[in-house]
């Protein structure tokens, strides 16, 4: 049995968030501390955050061991969470201190609880009522005895805060001090459930039974966009709430959160807790603390929400599970989808992976019998999948600086005449991907990366999509100094919008691209106005491929279906397939039938054909066959090693040495490929070299990688990043 309480003076081993890769011994403070307690400990001259991880080692002179400064006023880390962090660290070859940082990303955890003013319904009735006053009292009455901040009350009632203050003076609203980090309001699992269709009911039943089992399990919830996956998994969430356990819904894109929160509120009567980069620091801390105390029943968040200190997590939903943003690509390299399964298995929790176009990994796990599968076959209501076809660009008559083919133009024209919306989809932000000098041929590149600068005409700047560096658009060529010779090459959404405006001069054109909006809120408002029909032609990037409802949209034209088929990424075919199907899913969600067309120079390409044919199972089977034959994920294991340094010689030397001294890898039958320049050979001034390791599915890859990497000392500016199951090949 592990000891779970330490008395004053007992030696405890503390894991800190500092980059020291072992536990440090401290003496338990006055009053003792629990295993898992969050503590503040002295480290050199500083005070740092840590967690009591276990018993101390006792390797040092007891008299010299320092004392824990204090135990923080937050719930101790659960045993499952300790195990989860340890296992996740082992899997991703990440130091424990970095895992702990990931699990404590809330500011001011150690601060004493501060107070703030809250407002609830008072006892008096004002003698003089106004409309504004009535609204305030109605809102507060509707929420029973609940208390809110001044801003919340004013916002809910749609009045200024002075109206609320006025009511306080009259005693109609009471003002009280309350701890800043309030518990989240209780959700009602039976508040606003919808009548499900037969298909949906069957799916919900399977998921609810799984939740009731109280055991671990993973289910792939597959269904075309609009089939009601969200409705169905919200039933599983309801069941989880009924059982008194906590639930987590992961979403791939912050822009989607507010729409989703509104849906949750309609379903459960109250808003859930939120966790993502758009949430204020105060709210983050509240979420973190309340999750730990079990006072947040449901969290809706981005991938890092998986590292919140849930007290009793019973269900995790991964919506759009195939989405690449679940893979964190810097810092700790982890895939939230895979880590979800790990966490659930340690917690006896259920996982639901929802997608219209699952990842091949999940598809293969279903085939192998590891995951269950629930399929929603048809769309809700009368909406049907759009007709899909290709436009063969080899036979279209189109000048080099135009991208909308005459065929596509005619189709958009027809929609305009009928008052319906069209979407021109191009997965490229900005105005033009390349700016070239017509005098000397120079292409404007990033000063720090091997990438061309993308023109963003809206922002009047050039931007590097690798490192984010921007500079003003020069008026003369930086190379030959010729004037007025710089010309854009290739299209981005901004340029597409220009073309669309020329082709359809009377149409209202809207551009939907994440970089054009200052905030998630501005983006949301724009999306809502488009959905209401305040645009005839929408020009958009990737963003539109996810979860929004546009009832008037009946045509989707994919400008360059070949864009995703290029490149050396083993998942290129899969990505293109998913993206095309998702985009096609935008059209015809309401009563009117939709149509999707893809402009392509390779209409006979197997991926294009599979999309058009709508034969998904055939696509997956073929793709699985190819991957199995090549021994690549999910049928084999891979790791990417990226070495980087400002000194090009240094990185190549290390890469070559690593390839030579591959003993630990050979022992497990793994192979090393490279070193080769990474596809982007320079980022932020650092030269990058990549090695790829391939092993059989059952090989103990992490141990071998750790032993292999340990042979090399990283001096000076050299860095090594190990990426298990790499998603991107940059
Ligand atoms: P998905 O998550 O598969 O894309 P959603 O759950 O978002 O599908 O459903 C698509 C739309 O249809 C939503 O507006 C949703 O509210 C509605 N819908 C789905 N099922 C039902 C139902 N049984 N009753 C009422 N509306 C439903
Ligand atoms: Zn750059």
For the stretch 456-482, pLDDT in tens is 887 788 888 777 778 888 989 999 999
- Residue 355, pLDDT above cutoff 60: yes
Residue 189, H or E segment: none
Q: DSSP E strands: which ranges in 320-456?
A: 350-355, 372-376, 387-392, 421-425, 434-437, 454-456
Instruction: Tell me: pLDDT of 339 over 90.
Output: yes
* Site to substitute for ligand 1 among 358, 380, 547, most atoms within 8 A of C-beta: 380
Residue 115: pLDDT over 90:
no
pLDDT of residue 269: 92
So what's the pLDDT on residue 519?
67
CATH number at residue 261: 3.40.50.300
Statement to judge: residues 664 and 688 lie in one domain = yes
Structure token digits, residue 678: 């990474």
What span, in angstroms and rounded, lies between the C-alpha atoms of 577 and 360?
A: 11
Q: How many angstroms is it from 342 CA to the middle of ligand 1?
A: 29
pLDDT at 297 over 70: yes
Residues 279, 348, single domain; the answer is yes
Ligand 1 atom with the shortest distance to the CA of 194: 24
Q: How far is the CA of 541 from the centre of ligand 1 (A)?
A: 24
State the chain's mean pLDDT as an integer: 87
Residue 190 has pLDDT above 60, yes or no: yes
Q: What phi and psi values does residue 667 have, to the nearest 5 degrees?
A: -55, -35
Examine the domain organization and report whether 206 and 323 are in the same domain. Answer: yes
**How much is the pLDDT for 681?**
77
Whether 227 and 288 map to the same domain: the answer is yes
- Separation of 457 CA from ligand 1 center, angstroms? 38
> Considering the domain boundaries, does residue 190 fall inside one?
no
| 582-625 pLDDT per residue, tens | 666 666 555 667 788 889 998 888 778 877 877 777 778 878 88
The answer to whether residue 296 is domain-embedded is yes
Cβ of 542 closer than 6 Å to ligand 1, yes or no, is: no
CATH of the domain at 70: 3.40.1440.60
Overall average pLDDT of the 513-540 stretch: 79
- Judge whether residue 221 has pLDDT over 70: yes
Out of 351-355, 476-480, 490-494, 678-682, least confident range: 678-682
Residue found under tokens 């991938």: 303
pLDDT, position 147? 78
Mutate to test the pocket of ligand 1, among 200, 202, 222, 230 (most ligand atoms within 8 A of CB): 230
Q: With CA atoms as reference, report the closest residue to 576 among 390, 336, 417, 411.
A: 390
Q: State yes or no: pLDDT of 86 exceeds 90.
A: yes
Work out the pLDDT band at 707, boundaries 50, 70, 90: very high
Residue 640 to residue 689: CA distance in whole angstroms:
10
Look at residue 197 and give its three-state secondary structure: coil
Whether residue 188 lies inside any domain: the answer is: no
Ligand 1 atom having least distance to the Cα of 200: 23
| Same domain assignment for residues 623 and 662 | no
What pLDDT sits at residue 591?
61
- Residues 514/429, Cβ–Cβ less than 8 Å: yes
Report which secondary-structure segment, H or E, holds 176: strand 173-179
Identify which ligand lies nearest to the alpha carbon of 681: 2
Q: What's the number of domains the chain is made of?
A: 6
Residues 325-354, mean pLDDT to the nearest whole number: 92
The answer on 34 and 54 residing in a single domain is yes
Q: Does 193 reside within a domain?
A: no
Looking at the structure, tell me whether residues 296 and 370 fall in a common domain. yes
435 and 423 in a single domain? The answer is: no
| 551 inside domain | yes
pLDDT of res. 614: 72
Indicate the Cα dihedral angle 141, 144, 147, 153, nearest 10°: -30
pLDDT band at 381 (very low <50, low <70, confident <90, very high): low
* Cβ atoms < 10 Å from Cβ of 482: 14
Distance (angstroms) between ligand 2 centre and the Cα of 255 equals 25
Instruction: Indicate the residue among 598, 633, 668 that finishes a domain.
Output: 633
Number of the ligand 1 atom closest to the C-alpha atom of 376: 3
- Distance from residue 196's CA to the centre of ligand 1 (Å): 9
Q: Write out the residue range of the structural domain in which residue 482 sits.
A: 431-490
Confirm whether 730 is domain-assigned: no
Cβ atoms within 10 Å of 194's Cβ, excluding its own: 13
DSSP conformation letters of 24-90: EEEE--TT-EETT-EEEEEETTEEEEEEEEEE----S-GGGPPBP-EE-SSPPPPHHHHHHHHHHHH
Alpha helices in 269-405 (DSSP H): 281-293, 336-347, 360-367
Q: How far is the CA of 512 from the centre of ligand 2 (A)?
A: 24
Residue written as token pair 């000048």: 399
Q: In what order do the strands lie in the sheet with 38-43?
A: 24-27, 11-16, 46-55, 38-43, 70-71
Same domain? 268 vs 167: no
For residue 192, tell me if it sits in a domain: no
d(CA 649, CA 718) in angstroms, rounded, equals: 11
Do 550 and 590 reside in the same domain of the chain?
yes
Domain shared by 150 and 271, yes or no: no
Q: Is 365 within a domain? A: yes
CA distance 353 to 373: 9
Which of 618, 633, 648 finishes a domain? Answer: 633
Let me know whether 625 and 542 are in one domain: yes
- pLDDT for 415 equals 94
């Amino acid at each position: 049995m592990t000891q779970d309480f330490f008395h004053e003076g007992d030696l405890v081993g503390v894991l800190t968030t500092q980059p020291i890769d072992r536990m440090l011994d401290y003496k338990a403070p006055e009053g003792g501390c629990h295993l898992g307690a969050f503590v503040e400990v002295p480290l050199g001259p500083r005070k740092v955050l840590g967690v009591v991880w276990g018993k101390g080692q006792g390797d040092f002179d007891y008299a010299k061991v320092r004392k824990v400064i204090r135990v923080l006023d937050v719930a101790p880390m659960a045993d499952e969470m300790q195990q989860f962090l340890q296992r996740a660290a082992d899997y991703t070859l990440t130091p424990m201190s970095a895992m702990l940082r990931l699990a404590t990303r809330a500011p001011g955890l150690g601060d004493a609880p501060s107070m703030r003013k809250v407002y609830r319904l008072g006892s008096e009735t004002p003698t003089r009522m106004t409309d504004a006053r009535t609204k305030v009292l109605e809102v507060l009455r509707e929420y029973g005895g609940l208390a809110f901040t001044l801003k919340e009350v004013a916002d809910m009632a749609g009045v200024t805060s002075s109206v609320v203050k006025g009511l306080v003076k009259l005693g109609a609203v009471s003002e009280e001090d309350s701890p800043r980090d309030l518990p989240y309001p209780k959700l009602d699992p039976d508040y606003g459930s919808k009548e499900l269709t037969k298909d949906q009911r069957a799916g919900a039943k399977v998921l609810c039974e799984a939740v009731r089992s109280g055991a671990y399990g993973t289910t792939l919830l597959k269904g075309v966009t609009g089939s009601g996956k969200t409705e169905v998994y919200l039933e599983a969430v309801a069941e989880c709430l009924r059982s008194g356990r906590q639930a987590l819904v992961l979403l791939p894109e912050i822009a989607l959160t507010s729409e989703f929160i509104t849906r949750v509120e309609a379903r459960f009567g109250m808003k859930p807790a939120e966790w993502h980069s758009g949430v204020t620091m105060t709210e983050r801390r509240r979420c973190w603390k309340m999750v730990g105390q079990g006072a947040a029943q449901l969290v809706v968040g981005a991938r890092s929400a998986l590292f919140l200190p849930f007290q009793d997590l019973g269900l995790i939903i991964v919506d759009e599970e195939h989405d690449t943003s679940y893979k964190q690509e810097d810092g700790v390299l982890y895939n939230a989808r895979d880590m979800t399964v790990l966490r659930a298995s340690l917690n006896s929790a259920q996982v639901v992976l929802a997608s219209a176009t699952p990842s091949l990994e999940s598809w293969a796990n279903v085939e192998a019998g590891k995951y269950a599968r629930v399929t929603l076959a048809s769309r809700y209501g009368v909406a049907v999948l759009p007709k899909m076809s290709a436009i063969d660009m080899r036979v279209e008559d189109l000048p080099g600086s135009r991208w909308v083919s005459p065929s596509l133009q005619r189709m958009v024209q027809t929609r305009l005449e009928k008052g319906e919306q069209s979407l021109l989809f191009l997965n490229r932000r900005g105005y033009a991907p390349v700016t070239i000098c017509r005098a000397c041929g120079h292409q404007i590149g990033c000063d720090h990366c091997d990438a061309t600068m993308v023109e963003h005409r809206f922002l009047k700047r050039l931007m590097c999509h690798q490192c984010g560096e921007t500079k003003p658009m020069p008026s003369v060529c930086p190379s030959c100094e010729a004037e007025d010779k710089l010309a854009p090459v290739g299209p981005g959404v901004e340029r597409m919008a220009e073309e669309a405006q020329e082709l359809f001069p009377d149409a209202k054109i809207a551009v939907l691209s994440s970089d054009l909006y200052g905030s998630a809120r501005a983006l949301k408002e724009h999306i809502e106005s488009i959905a209401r029909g305040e645009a005839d032609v929408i020009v958009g990037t990737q963003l539109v491929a996810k979860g929004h409802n546009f009832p008037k949209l009946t045509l989707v034209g994919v400008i360059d279906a070949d864009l995703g088929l290029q490149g050396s990424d083993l998942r290129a075919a899969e990505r293109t397939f998913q993206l095309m199907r998702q985009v096609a899913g935008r059209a015809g969600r309401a009563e009117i039938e939709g149509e999707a067309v893809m402009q392509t120079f390779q209409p006979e390409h197997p991926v294009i054909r599979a999309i058009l044919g709508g034969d998904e199972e055939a696509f997956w089977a073929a793709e699985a066959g190819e991957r199995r034959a090549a021994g690549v994920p999910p049928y084999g294991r891979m790791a990417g090693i990226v070495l980087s340094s400002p000194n090009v010689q240094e990185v190549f030397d290390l890469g070559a040495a690593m390839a030579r001294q591959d003993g630990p890898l050979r022992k497990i039958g793994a192979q090393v490929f490279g070193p080769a320049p990474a596809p982007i050979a320079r980022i932020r001034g650092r030269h990058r070299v990549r090695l790829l390791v391939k092993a059989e599915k059952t090989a103990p890859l992490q141990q071998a990688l750790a032993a292999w990497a340990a042979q090399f000392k990283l001096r000076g500016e050299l860095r090594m990043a190990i990426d298990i199951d790499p998603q991107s090949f940059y």
